[in-house]
Amino acid sequence: MALLRITDRAVEALSVEGNDAIFWDRVLLGFGVRVYPSGAKTYIVQTRTDGRSRRVTVGRHGELSAAQARRRAALVIARIKAGEDPVPARAAVDRDLGPPVTVAELAERYLERHVATQLKPATMSSYRSALDRWILPSLGETPVTEVGDEHVAALHESLRDMPYRANQVVHILSTMFALAETWGLRAEGTHPVRKIRKYDELRRERSLTQDEYRRLGKVLDEIEAEAGAKRGGWVRRSAAAALRLLMLTGCRRNEVLTLRWADVNRKAGIVRLRNGGTAARVVPLTPATASVLDGLRRLSGNPWVLVGARRGGRLSNLNEHWLRVRARAGLDGVRLHDLRHSFVARALSLGESGPMVGRLLGRASVHEDGLSPEAVSAAAARVAAAIAADLGMQIQRR
- Residue 65: name the closest of 10, 102, 4 by CA: 10
365 vs 8, which has greater pLDDT? 8
- Residue 111: name the closest of 14, 59, 176, 203 by CA: 176
Q: For residue 125, give the 3-state DSSP assignment.
A: helix
Q: What is the DSSP letter of 308?
A: -
Each residue of 122-162: pLDDT tens digit?
788 889 989 999 999 999 999 888 888 889 999 999 988 78
Each residue of 321-362: pLDDT tens digit?
899 999 999 998 888 889 999 999 999 999 998 889 888 988
What does the alpha-carbon distance between residue 33 and residue 360 come to, in Å, rounded to a whole number? 63
pLDDT at 87: 58
What does the alpha-carbon distance between residue 277 and residue 260 come to, in Å, rounded to a whole number? 17
Amino acid at 331: L
What's the whole-number mean pLDDT along residues 79-94?
61
Q: Sign of torsion, CA 95 98 100 106?
A: negative
What does the alpha-carbon distance between residue 76 and residue 31 come to, in Å, rounded to a whole number? 10
What does the alpha-carbon distance between residue 51 and residue 80 come to, in Å, rounded to a whole number? 12
Whether residue 248 contacts residue 388, with contact meaning beta carbons closer than 8 Å, is answered with yes
What does the alpha-carbon distance between residue 47 and residue 273 come to, in Å, rounded to a whole number? 58
186 vs 168, which has greater pLDDT? 168
Task: Kindly list the strands in the beta sheet with 264-265, ordered across the sheet, starting from the edge strand earlier in the chain.
Answer: 264-265, 270-273, 281-284
Q: What is the dihedral of CA 117, 119, 120, 126, to 10 degrees?
A: -120
Q: Would you say residue 275 has pLDDT above 90?
A: no
Q: In this structure, how many other beta carbons lie within 10 angstroms of the beta carbon of residue 267?
A: 6
- Antiparallel, parallel or unpaired: β 281-284 and 270-273: antiparallel
Q: Would you say residue 277 has pLDDT above 70?
A: no
Whether residue 311 contacts residue 290, with contact meaning beta carbons closer than 8 Å, is answered with no
Highest mean pLDDT among 62-71, 133-142, 303-312: 133-142
DSSP string, 218-240: HHHHHHHHHHTTSTTHHHHHHHH
Residue 188 class from Cβ within 10 Å (0-12 exposed, 13-18 middle, 19+ buried)? exposed
pTM: 0.54
Q: Would you say residue 97 has pLDDT above 50?
A: no
**Of the listed ranges 39-43, 88-92, 178-182, 228-232, the one predicted with least confidence:** 88-92
- Residue 59: name the closest of 32, 28, 19 by CA: 32
Give residue 364's Cα distance to chain centre.
Answer: 24
Q: What is the DSSP letter of 351?
A: T
Each residue of 190-248: pLDDT tens digit?
788 877 888 776 556 688 999 999 999 999 999 888 876 555 567 788 999 999 999 99
Q: In this structure, how many other beta carbons lie within 10 angstroms of the beta carbon of residue 35?
A: 21
